[in-house]
Amino acid sequence: MFCNEIKTSLFLLCYVCKFACCMGQNEDPLPSWNDRQTKQAIVQFINDTTTAGNKDYIIPEDRIAVFDQDGTLWVEQPLYAQFIFAMDTVKSNALKHPEWKHQQPYQAVIERDTDKIKNFTMEDIEKLIAASHSNLSVDEFKDNVQSWLSQALHPRFKKPYTDLIYQPMLEVIQYFKNHGYKVYIVSGGGQDFVRAYAEKIYGIPTQHVIGSAEKVKYEYRDGKPELMKLSEVFFINDKAGKPEAIHLFVGKRPVAAFGNSDGDRQMLEWSQSSNGRSLQLLVHHDDAAHEYQYDTVSKVGTFSQQLMDEAKRNGWNVVSMKEDWKIIFPSDR
């Protein structure tokens, strides 16, 4: 009798475990995506590349997925968050620099001259970045970014920028991680800026963040070693710089790449050039009601007709935010 009870208990335990396992497998890994071609392509890619014995199987060591950030993982309109951070920092430091009241581009920022700000040149932006990012230790800069993010609100949504991340893309990141993929952020934005919050909001560790970077210098302050941020550019992680940086920091070609603009084109090309199966995806901002609608005429996140033509020619997946996504932000759930 005792043995029969043990057998019965073990049978029930195995049944429950098997049922739970099947339930887990049947759960929708991308619940914020509509069941359209792009979602099916993502699921098919994961199944094909992580199922042992499949002709497109990719060994775990080679499962590398790279994601742009601005416009791919969170809102980039009307201006990049890092640029707004730079302007807010310059404005808050204006009393320490009275000469800025009569110097451009600082004067435009202090006076909130939107017409001038809209027409800032790359040189103007570099000056603002240098004024707000340099002469600080890397730890001081991280603290400044985190403090700003805790208070800054997006001008349209009136929410913190860290709330304006794309729920569907968070699901993709987790889906890839759950299947043994190493996930990297490869952003044209500042590396130290993104590292200040990437792990908290995306679950991506700082060592997996690759971005544009200023030079740093090792020195002693009050007898303690510090890495100080300089105003000199180390490298710009945009366009052709993205595959170059991936090679430098990762050392392997990615097999999946996600972007949203002309600045991501070379990164997607690089991932498609790998042997075997690969996946490329571009987020197209076409939902003015829930986020923004822009492409060829936008200075921020330009999605040119040439990029669209290349996507169609190469079989890249183009996400319609309006048609492919059920929701945009986590708070929409």
pLDDT in tens, 204-219: 999 999 999 999 999 9
pLDDT tops 60 at residue 19: no
| CA distance linking residue 208 with residue 231, whole number of Å | 24
pLDDT tops 70 at residue 47: yes
| Residue owning tokens 């000199």 | 232
pLDDT tops 80 at residue 15: no
| Nearest residue to 168 via CA among 330, 331, 292 | 330
The residue among 115 and 325 whose pLDDT is bigger is: 325
Tell which CATH architecture fits domain 30-332: 3-Layer(aba) Sandwich (3.40)
User: Which of the 8 DSSP states describes residue 68?
Assistant: -
The arithmetic mean of pLDDT across residues 236-257, rounded, is 97
| CA distance linking residue 87 with residue 93, whole number of Å | 10
Within a 10 A sphere around the Cβ of 314, how many other Cβ atoms?
11
Check residue 18 and give its pLDDT.
Answer: 43
| Nearest residue to 320 via CA among 287, 280, 276, 274 | 287
| CA distance linking residue 281 with residue 30, whole number of Å | 15
The residue among 117 and 276 whose pLDDT is bigger is: 117
The arithmetic mean of pLDDT across residues 82-108, rounded, is 94
pLDDT tops 70 at residue 4: no
Which H or E element spans position 309? helix 305-314
Residue by residue, DSSP assigns 8-31 as: HHHHHHHHHHHHHHHHHHHS-S-T
| Assigned token pair, 190 | 């500042």
pLDDT tops 90 at residue 244: yes
The arithmetic mean of pLDDT across residues 237-259, rounded, is 97
The residue among 331 and 17 whose pLDDT is bigger is: 331
- Residue 183 pLDDT level (bands cut at 50, 70, 90): very high
Paired residues of 279 in beta bridges:
256
Within a 10 A sphere around the Cβ of 231, how many other Cβ atoms?
14
Check residue 126 and give its pLDDT.
Answer: 85
Check residue 118 and give its pLDDT.
Answer: 85
pLDDT tops 60 at residue 10: no
**Sheet containing 224-235, strands listed edge to edge, beginning at the edge strand earlier in sequence:** 136-137, 224-235, 209-221, 182-190, 64-67, 256-259, 279-284, 317-320
Check residue 328 and give its pLDDT.
Answer: 98
Alpha helices by DSSP H, 159-272:
167-178, 191-195, 198-202, 241-249, 265-272
| Assigned token pair, 19 | 């049922």
Q: What is the mean pLDDT of the chain?
A: 92
Contact (CB, 8 A) for 265 and 257: no
The residue among 18 and 296 whose pLDDT is bigger is: 296
pLDDT tops 70 at residue 20: no
Within a 10 A sphere around the Cβ of 219, how many other Cβ atoms?
11
Q: 234 CB contacts (<8 Å, ≥6 apart)?
A: 213, 214, 215, 216
